[in-house]
Amino acid sequence: MAVCVWNVKPAPIPNAPLPNRASRVKALSPRSDVAGVVLAGGLGRRMGRDKTGLRLREGEADFISRAAALLARVVVDVRVGCRADQAERAARAGRPLTPDLTPGGGVLCAVQSCLRHLERPCLVIPCDMPFLTEGVLLALLAARDEGLAAGCPPGVTLFRRAETGRLEPMVAVYEPAGLPFLDAASARGDYGLFRALPPERRIYLDYDEKDDWMFYNVNTPADLEAARRARLP
């Protein structure tokens, strides 16, 4: 079966909306048919501390609150996905906790838990990509809707780097129909999220090298300082 590909050409600055599909999709009100989940169960080993409490600037919201607020602009039900012993993170974001059913199982098990708990499509984002925008998420949801309407089998909608084929499985919409594939992958001990769903179950949104800023990931103190320097006023 052919892979479904929907091309997206994002704007080159973090605070601008996407100029094509996303700018035509008006979020008159947040959607209730898709849940939003901030993936926040990481240990922050390379950062040397819990990343959910980081801020780009003093006085701004911390990373987890920032991510939850971003999701709330496009979906009604926003959760925080992490271990039960990390419940303080969800409380700090002011959102319900969706606990990992398999603590220590990584992002794949976190997505499994979200789909099993919520029983509907889940738009997931990590807490540590501070340059994601509402326009990026609207484009993702629009491509998901268009792909499914065109007959693409439900599984996941995610971004793909056009030049290299690199996938961004942590900014994606996962469908309940993909849960058996995630279950099978975890059962065989393969926790690679992008490998769990076969290509015919993926809807790709291609993006260009110049738009890498969307997925800038803050993992280390050096990453954080670079993000602070790159931040627009």
- pLDDT score of 146: 92
What residue ranges do the domains of the chain occupy?
4-230
Instruction: For residue range 89-144, list pLDDT tens digits in order.
Output: 888 889 999 988 776 678 898 999 999 999 999 999 999 999 999 999 999 999 99
Tell me which residue of 161, 125, 118, 127 sits closest to 141, measured CA to CA: 125
Q: In the chain, which stretches have pLDDT less than 50? A: 1-2, 8-25, 232-233
- pLDDT score of 119: 95
- pLDDT score of 61: 87
Q: Considering the entire predicted model, what is its pTM?
A: 0.86
CATH topology of domain 4-230: Spore Coat Polysaccharide Biosynthesis Protein SpsA; Chain A (3.90.550)
CA–CA distance from 9 to each of 41, 134, 140, 165, 217 (Å)? 31, 15, 12, 15, 20
